[in-house]
Amino acid sequence: KAGVTQTPRYLIKTRGQQVTLSCSPISGHRSVSWYQQTPGQGLQFLFEYFSETQRNKGNFPGRFSGRQFSNSRSEMNVSTLELGDSALYLCASSTAGTGKSEQYFGPGTRLTVT
């Protein structure tokens, strides 16, 4: 089985711009979660999608949004970029996102905002 894929792997943007990141989960996985990772902060939960519906949401401003398509692929959008948005964005997929449903992570998208 192919693993979780994320595109692009690296991105450089300017303050005020917007960006869209893409995540393709493992085949058969219906849950996709997005995280922001910065040094010393650990993984900060952004949101989770299950069967095209946002099931959980973290404490991020409305500039961060996402969606999931019928094939379970997911996109994350950040509008009006700020310098503090520079981070590694990870997506993770799981079969159901409940119980012992472990998450499988993609390689991440490294976003740099200048």
Partner 1 sequence: GQNIDQPTEMTATEGAIVQINCTYQTSGFNGLFWYQQHAGEAPTFLSYNVLDGLEEKGRFSSFLSRSKGYSYLLLKELQMKDSASYLCAVQKDSNYQLIWGAGTKLIIKP
Pattern 43-62, binding to partner 1, x per CB under 8 A? xxx--x------xx------
Which is closer to partner 1, CB of 11 or CB of 43? Answer: 43
**Residue 3, number of CB atoms within 10 A of its CB:** 12
- Burial group, residue 67, by CB count within 10 angstroms (0-12, 13-18, 19+): middle
Query: Does 114 interact with partner 1 (rule: CB under 8 A)?
Result: no
Query: Does 105 interact with partner 1 (rule: CB under 8 A)?
Result: yes
Piece of the chain touching partner 1 by CB under 8 A; list 17-25, 66-74, 79-87, 102-110: 102-110
The binding site for partner 1 (CB under 8 A) comprises 4, 33, 35, 40-45, 48, 55-56, 90, 97-108
